[in-house]
Structure 1
Amino acid sequence: MVTKYIATLRAGTATPEPPQPIPSPRRITTWIMRHPDTLTDSQRDQLNRILDACPDLATARDLAHEFCAITRERRGHDLTHWMTQALDHGPSPIQGFATFLQNDWDAVVNGLNLPWSSGAVEGQVTRIKLIKRRSYGRASFALLRTLVLAQPP
């Protein structure tokens, strides 16, 4: 880096731009998963430079955006096409995720197509576990029963 800088001084050219620091993987992931319209111009430029330098990351971004759209819009019929793309062209972590989805394919497709949801049940189970953990075994059964059956505020 010093050699390049000295060479530009000897050549009489303008001072080179200092290199921009590489964003953390967490920040890059955040930029990838956010809607492109919510990024600032600087963030969008940095992300585009990163994606140009790493085509696998660009492919992963495209597949992740498509999968999010499929799940958000409950388009189970599009999952087969996404799966083919992920297994044929995706980076290895995306391929691993797609292979994992194949293990329980019927449940995944039905979860995206059918109108039923177990969300209310899962919410109650989570609430009961929170109450149980909060008492760390110190509460009696009667108190736990009262807390579980009481209406949340």
Structure 2
Amino acid sequence: MSLPLANCPELTAPAEHVRSFAHMLTHLQGEELPAWIEAATATTELPSLRHFAQHLERDLDAVITALSHPWNSGVVEGQVNRITMIEE
């Protein structure tokens, strides 16, 4: 779905960064993350995006792996949350 960014041009850059990150995530292309981080951190008008990208860089290998494989720990995390709620 394409948003009508013509009415709000200041959203063009953030929308493109979000789209490219989503593409990496959904197409398991973690190897593209370093280039995405470089582009996101170079964007001075988007401090929140820059901050997010810098945090990803802290554990780059793990994030690249997570973006490259279809496996996740969602089921395990759900069970941990359930047990935590029962104990409270």
Using the size of structure 1 for normalisation, the TM-score is: 0.50
Letter in 1 for 2:80: V
Decide whether aligned partners of structure 1 residues 115 and 72 sit closer, same or farther in structure 2, where only a CA change above 3 A counts.
closer
Gaps of 5+ in 1: 1-34, 37-43, 134-153
8 A Cα contact 2:24 2:33, kept in partner: yes
RMSD: 1.9
Using the size of structure 2 for normalisation, the TM-score is: 0.81
Q: Distance in 2 between matches of 1:49 and 1:107?
A: 38
1:48 aligns with 2:2: no
Report 1 or 2 for greater relative contact order, CA contacts < 8 Å, sequence distance ≥ 6.
Answer: 2
The Cα offsets for residues 102-127 of structure 1, whole Å up to 9 and x where unpaired, read as 11111101111234421221111122
Identity of aligned residues (%): 31
**Deviation at residue 94 of structure 1 after TM alignment:** 0.8
SS at match of 2:55: helix
Letter in 1 for 2:48: P
Residue of structure 2 equivalent to 1:25: none
Aligned pairs, how many?
87
Residue of structure 2 equivalent to 1:62: 16
Trace 1:17-96 onto structure 2 (pairs within 5 A).
35-36=1-2, 44-45=3-4, 47-50=5-8, 52=9, 54=10, 57-89=11-43, 91-96=46-51
**Deviation at residue 71 of structure 1 after TM alignment:** 1.1
Letter in 2 for 1:78: E
**Deviation at residue 131 of structure 1 after TM alignment:** 2.6
Q: Distance in 1 between matches of 2:22 and 2:87?
A: 34
Gaps of 5+ in 2: none
1:108 aligns with 2:66: no
